[in-house]
Structure 1
Amino acid sequence: MKFFFAFMLIFSLAFFLIFISILQPQHLYGTEYDVRVINGFSDNSSLPLVIWCTSDESDLGGRALQERDDFSWRLRTNFWGTTHFICTMKWDRRRKSFEAFKVPRDIHRCSPLRKCSWLVTEEGFYFSNDEVNWKKDFSWS
């Protein structure tokens, strides 16, 4: 009887792992993504765009970005599919926090290159997965 329960437990665990790996392999093994935030202001030579990014697992620190400077990092999704990075942007009197990466939203839209890029301008925040086609996601306010 003990053998049967041990067998069923091992079989159930194996079935669960196979099931999860087929449906959401990036959650089981972790998939790497490149995230990049670019200062797209047309003229902020006297005032940099300040960025600070964090996640539950790490604090990437802050940077002061001049025109066309960027802040980039590589991440790996966790098993639970909860990986996310929040960045706070500050320029002059404007301040905005946004999710630079969030698994449920970005595992699909950052594909197929696994590239999540943000262009920050005076008008707002633009997203691209190829840095050619940009789509405005939101404004500063």
Structure 2
Amino acid sequence: MGSLHIKAIFLLLAIAITPSTAWTVRILNRLSHKKVLFAHCRSGDDDLGPRYIKHRDEFKFSFGVNLFRTTLFWCYMSKDRKSQASFDVFWPSGDAKKHGGIDHLSTWTVNEKAVWVIRDDGIYLKIRDPGGDAFKNDYIDEILYLRWQSKR
């Protein structure tokens, strides 16, 4: 066997045994007036199906990041018959401009959890408080998506 074949085998073994980071995404319904939130989340490989999230309840899902670290999940949401939003809830590093200046979620979140808070005025991501206590994992809600879009 040539050295190229041996290097290829070692590379494949290294990729195969590299642990995949497990993530959890939580979507919290904090809309007013006991509104039910509609959410439909998916990735390139998985369709999680439509969900109706009751007021003060949540929808949670977990997954492993793929070998190439390109996993992307996005959701379509609607808070009523007039308003909708579609946005990424998990993304790989890069393209910070598209994601409110956040390059990669692991920089801003704690313990591989992305917590989205859905409110009447916009969509928030719970992030580490830059002025908080690092040992207490202090969080703040950072608005990433300011407006709901009108349905047509």
Name the aligned partner's letter for residue 29 of structure 1: P
2:20 counterpart (9, 23, 30)? 30
2:113 counterpart (97, 112, 115)? 115
Name the aligned partner's letter for residue 114 of structure 1: E
The structure that is helix-richer by fraction is 1
TM-score by length of 1: 0.77
1:79 aligns with: 67
1:11 aligns with: 7
Give, in angstroms, the shift of residue 138 of structure 1.
1.3
1:41 aligns with: 31
Give, in angstroms, the shift of residue 108 of structure 1.
2.5
Q: Distance in 1 between matches of 2:25 and 2:144?
A: 16
Q: Distance in 2 between matches of 1:30 and 1:125?
A: 28
Q: Distance in 2 between matches of 1:32 and 1:113?
A: 9
1:103 aligns with: 92
Q: Is the 8 A contact 1:50 1:90 kept in 2?
A: yes
Name the aligned partner's letter for residue 37 of structure 1: I
SS in structure 1 of the partner of residue 140 of structure 2:
coil
How many residue pairs are counted as aligned between the two chains? 129
Rate the CA distance shift 1:112–1:91 in 2: closer, same or farther, 3 A: closer
Q: Distance in 1 between matches of 2:11 and 2:70?
A: 23
What do the CA deviations read for 1:28-53 (whole angstroms, capped 9, x no partner)? 4311001000001132x2x4110011
What do the CA deviations read for 1:50-108 (whole angstroms, capped 9, x no partner)? 00111111111111112111110001000111111110001221111110111214453
Give, in angstroms, the shift of residue 122 of structure 1.
0.7
Identity of aligned residues (%): 26
Q: Which structure 1 residue ranges, 5 or more long, are not aligned? A: none
Q: Is the 8 A contact 2:74 2:86 kept in 1?
A: yes
TM-score by length of 2: 0.72
Name the aligned partner's letter for residue 85 of structure 2: K
SS in structure 1 of the partner of residue 3 of structure 2:
helix
Q: Is the 8 A contact 2:90 2:105 kept in 1?
A: no
Give, in angstroms, the shift of residue 9 of structure 1.
3.1
Give, in angstroms, the shift of residue 111 of structure 1.
4.6
SS in structure 2 of the partner of residue 133 of structure 1:
strand
Rate the CA distance shift 1:107–1:41 in 2: closer, same or farther, 3 A: closer
